[in-house]
Amino acid sequence: MMRFSTLVKHPADWMTGKSKDNSVVITSRIRLARNLRDVPFPGWAMKEERKQIMETILPEISGLDEMKKGFSQELSSLESLEKQVLVERHLISREQAARGEGCAAVVNRKQSLSLMVNEEDHLRMQSICAGMHLREAYDLLDSIDRELETKLNYAYDGNLGYLTACPTNLGTGMRASAMLHLPALVITDQISQVLQAVGKIGLAVRGLFGEGTESLGDLFQISNQSTLGESEGAIIDRLERVINQVANHERNARLKMIEEDADILTNKIGRAYGLLKHAHLFDSKEAFTHISLIRLGADLGYFPEGTMQLCDSLMMEIQPAHLQLYAGKELEPEKRDLIRAEIIRDQLQNLDPPAISNIENEVNNTDVGDELPIEPPID
């Protein structure tokens, strides 16, 4: 079995996925909610009942081929800091972290699958992968679900579908979501317009950690709200179309900035670089703001390959629990700001300043409207 220390030492698969394009859509996630028939939902169950439910579910999910040699822990056996690390990695929910006895988390080695026992529902399963790949994330989770449905007695109704503790999850019990990095839409003040349009067609937009969290580092989550009345495929199709549109807006905004306001953009990225390399204290919000610009710069050719992955892992490492784990002790917020700046300086020490000449080449190489491509002069 995988130990907690092993889990935190290794980045999740999605963070190292160099081959996949995740410059705008960072990750795709699918969550399925399932419950056992005729036993109280976790929020209504007594402690003893919850334990019994866990004892029914845990062996079945730890026994899955995909989960073998993975991480499997009862939450009461984890320190609160450790639970917080799992939240920051999106492996368990904030709600689950607040729970204790009778609740468990199982994570596979690649950290692409995580299963929570006795969260709001008896079983919540999640798959996460890099880039815009909701369909793949769903297929992976679907295969797990099909294996489990032969072993666990799922609560299901012909009309209402999978029965969940909260009626908002009835039907498919599926929440599909994507994490998007939208700095250009934020800089060009188009973000609220775009997000409002998304909200109007019944999709939810949230910050980094879901419901009720503010956006840090220009990161936004878009997900479906309705789970009943449409098939899983139809929900994913609709979401995919919208997310692709938002991502295209972002890409266009990036290109337009580099074509029309290259100096302003270069100035922003250069300043972010300078601050990150030399500042002594950083709160989360400020750090995220600057790292977001470096990530944008990496996509636009200001920084060498691999810088985007560096930004993604940095965004993980500077969060409070990861940071305290790195420091080896619990720290007051002021102390954290000091360590945060230290981690950032350390991670970026080999990163060269933004390469402005690269950008000028890139601008010249970009096919702008009807203009003819630049050809070498004929002599």
Q: Give whichever of 171 and 183 is closer to other proteins, judged by the CB atom.
A: 171
Q: Give whichever of 238 and 345 is closer to other proteins, judged by the CB atom.
A: 238
**Secondary-structure breakdown of the chain: helix, strand, coil percentages, each rounded to the nearest 5:** 50, 15, 35
Q: Give whichever of 43 and 320 is closer to other proteins, judged by the CB atom.
A: 43
DSSP E strand boundaries for the chain: 25-34, 71-74, 104-107, 113-117, 123-130, 156-157, 161-162, 174-181, 203-206, 219-224
Q: Give whichever of 231 and 365 is closer to other proteins, judged by the CB atom.
A: 231
What residue ranges bind other proteins (CB under 8 A)?
A: 35-41, 43-44, 120, 142, 145-146, 149-150, 153-163, 165-168, 170-172, 174, 202, 225-232, 234
b/e code 138-175 from CB counts within 10 Å (16+ = b): bebbbebbebbeeebebbeeeeebbbbbeeebbbbbbb
The least CB distance from residue 213 to other proteins, in Å, is 21
* 181 closest CA partner among 262, 77, 278, 294: 294
Torsion of the alpha carbons at 109, 153, 34 and 122, rounded to the nearest 10: -80
Q: Give whichever of 17 and 40 is closer to other proteins, judged by the CB atom.
A: 40
* 117 closest CA partner among 63, 49, 54: 54
Alpha carbon distance 125, 66 (integer Å):
13
The least CB distance from residue 139 to other proteins, in Å, is 12
The least CB distance from residue 109 to other proteins, in Å, is 27
The least CB distance from residue 225 to other proteins, in Å, is 7
Alpha carbon distance 357, 362 (integer Å):
9
The least CB distance from residue 354 to other proteins, in Å, is 46
Q: Which amino acid makes up residue 43? A: G
The least CB distance from residue 143 to other proteins, in Å, is 12
The least CB distance from residue 157 to other proteins, in Å, is 6
Q: Which amino acid makes up residue 317? A: E
* 210 closest CA partner among 4, 14, 42, 27: 27
Q: Give whichever of 39 and 281 is closer to other proteins, judged by the CB atom.
A: 39
Q: Give whichever of 27 and 127 is closer to other proteins, judged by the CB atom.
A: 127
Q: Give whichever of 171 and 297 is closer to other proteins, judged by the CB atom.
A: 171
The least CB distance from residue 180 to other proteins, in Å, is 23
Alpha carbon distance 1, 314 (integer Å):
27
Q: Give whichever of 52 and 215 is closer to other proteins, judged by the CB atom.
A: 52
Alpha carbon distance 276, 347 (integer Å):
10
Measure CA 25 to chain center: 9
The least CB distance from residue 248 to other proteins, in Å, is 25
